Amino acid sequence: AQKITQTQPGMFVQEKEAVTLDCTYDTSDPSYGLFWYKQPSSGEMIFLIYQGSYDQQNATEGRYSLNFQKARKSANLVISASQLGDSAMYFCAMRRGTGANNLFFGTGTRLTVIP
Amino acid sequence: DVKVTQSSRYLVKRTGEKVFLECVQDMDHENMFWYRQDPGLGLRLIYFSYDVKMKEKGDIPEGYSVSREKKERFSLILESASTNQTSMYLCASSGQGEETEAFFGQGTRLTVV
């Protein structure tokens, strides 16, 4: 069975600093995908970044990067140069199986950026 | 601009009522999903569909059913609403391909009184 664990219910970071949001996963599938989403207070889910299990390099998208350590089954999100607009809930998710591509989500981390 | 649209942002229903939550996507996606979101529990999959008239149970299907008569529309049905179904409901769609992300609607906050 698949499992996603986000152990940090809440995190604080100073504006312009970097922050790492933790995500560990468990799966027996040899092929899987990992996603990070942002949910601001308005409620919409915004896709941030994707990492495939066979990707050799860590994914990066602007200020977001994914620290993928396959042997440790971790896929931590790193946000560099935090901005006030980064304050939101962040969810780690894993694509499970093939076909419908449905996602299994963690419980989320609420990030607060302090001015 | 790609869109997943949910019919209501806020909904208040009485216990025992039959409730329909509608979702429409304009991206010609094969896959559609219904999640519910509760504090501390993240998003949990209720049902999903990978083709018209096809549906699969997710992790928490009890008390819900779905309908997909057209590719762009996926409806979630609460046959007899109960107070423990008070929650935020999120619809999503995605195309094929392993890297394809899911696109979400704005959510429907349902309160059952």
Q: What is the mean pLDDT of each run of 10 residues along chain A (115 residues)?
A: 91 98 92 94 94 92 96 97 97 78 91 97
B39 touches chain A (CB under 8 A): no
Please give, rounded to a whole number of angstroms, the shortest distance from the CA of A57 to a CA of chain B: 15
Q: Please report how many Cα atoms fall inside a 13 Å half-sphere around the Cα of residue B8, on the Cβ side.
A: 16
pLDDT for res A98: 59
Q: Which chain A residues touch B31 with a CB distance below 8 Å?
A: 100-102
List residues in chain A touching B: CB distance below 8 A: 4, 6, 9, 31, 33, 35, 37, 42-45, 47, 50, 52, 91, 93, 95, 98-108
Q: Which chain B residues touch A50 with a CB distance below 8 Å?
A: 99, 101
Residues of chain B with pLDDT under 70: 1-2
Contacts of A99 (CB under 8 A, 6+ apart): B50
Contact across the interface for A100 and B48, Cβ inside 8 Å? yes
pLDDT for res A31: 85
Query: B59 near B72, Cβ under 8 Å?
Result: no
pLDDT for res A99: 56
CA–CA distance, B10 with B28 (Å, rounded to integer)? 26
pLDDT for res A90: 98
Structure tokens at A69: 């350590």
Q: Which chain A residues touch B90 with a CB distance below 8 Å?
A: 45
Point out which residues pair with A71 in neighbouring strands. Answer: none
B22 touches chain A (CB under 8 A): no
φ, ψ for residue A85 (rounded to 5)? -70, -5
Contact across the interface for A100 and B44, Cβ inside 8 Å? no
* Per-residue pLDDT tens digits for B26-44: 999 999 999 999 999 999 9
Interface residue of A5, A66, A101 to substitute, partner B, most B CBs within 10 Å: A101
Please give, rounded to a whole number of angstroms, the shortest distance from the CA of A68 to a CA of chain B: 16
